[in-house]
Amino acid sequence: MSYARKLLARGEEIVFESGQHWFAVVGRSWWAIGLAILALAVLLWVAGPPEEPLDGPAEVVSLGLLLIAFARIGWVIWGWRNTEFLVTTRRIIRAEGILNKRMSDSSLEKVNDAHLTQNVFGRIFGFGDLDILTAADELGGIEDFPLLADPVDFKIAMLNQKELLERPDLAAPAYQRQPAPTMRPAEPMAPRAGSDRVTVMEERSDSGSAAAPAPSPPATAAAPPEMAAPGGGSPADDATATLERLASLRDRGLITAEEYDAKKRELLERI
């Protein structure tokens, strides 16, 4: 487990994790890399047959320099792997060091500004220098992240989490969003009281068959009160007014289409 992860408080989670780019290893050990190449070239040039020991002064010195260069490169790589830059739900953490650990952190609420510098090579290979201005004191503190890997994503994650802490009413970022609940299909509404469909459903449940045909309309000569024809009109006008009333009842769902067609045929036969 990394050293920085051991320093997380209760309920604190890591939002983004990064470190230094591998260019940092080259920048800190460039002389050791050159020395190793030179020493290896000298060994290959002055070395005798493989079965002979290395007893010449040039060979011994070259071997010693080669070991020193490899030790320096290994030490730099070890320190590079122990450098951690974290953005958590509360703060920014920088941890580094091999034997002696150094850790600094800044609360996200105290971050005032962030300056990102990327040259041409930084944009190509994905590294940059990020300077974060904080309100640590009256003059403002500076948290330096040199040769930061993925600096754009690191800065975006930091700003998003800072805004989320300051504005909890905003929607959470993508990594904190809960999946959308599954929508259940709407159930059909029960027929309203007073509708003829209530009688139809009751008769279907009594018969025990869902495919039973709807009952025929009541064979009454007189129309319902709401369908009564206005007095004083011709039979054709009365039939037209009744059909309009029936159509209105059908559109409101008070009668079925079959009932409407049956009444329509009955009125047309009377004319």
Q: Measure Cα distances from 253 to 43, 67, 187, 209, 226 in Å.
A: 100, 94, 17, 23, 15
Question: Which pLDDT band holds residue 104 (cuts at 50, 70, 90)?
Answer: confident
Tally of domains within the chain? 2
Q: Give the pLDDT score at 49.
A: 55
Q: Give the pLDDT score at 192.
A: 56
Q: What is the pTM for the complete model shown?
A: 0.54
* Residues 124 and 219 placed together within one structural domain of the fold: no
Per-residue pLDDT reduced to its tens digit, 185-228: 656 665 555 555 545 555 555 554 444 454 555 444 444 444 44
* Residues 27 and 137 placed together within one structural domain of the fold: yes
Give the Cα-Cα-Cα angle 153, 130, 161 (nearest 5 degrees): 45
* Residues 125 and 31 placed together within one structural domain of the fold: yes
Measured in degrees and rounded to the nearest 5, phi and psi for residue 247 equal -65, -40
User: Got the DSSP string for 14-31?
Assistant: EEEEE-B-THHHHHHSHH
Q: Measure Cα distances from 83 to 96, 98, 175, 213 in Å.
A: 4, 9, 25, 79
* Residues 35 and 149 placed together within one structural domain of the fold: yes
* Residues 151 and 215 placed together within one structural domain of the fold: no
Query: Which range of residues forms the domain containing residue 105?
Result: 4-172
Half-sphere exposure of 63 (CA within 13 A, CB side): 10
Per-residue pLDDT reduced to its tens digit, 137-189: 544 445 578 899 999 999 999 988 988 888 776 655 555 555 555 656 656 66
The domain that holds 21 is classified in CATH as 2.30.29.30
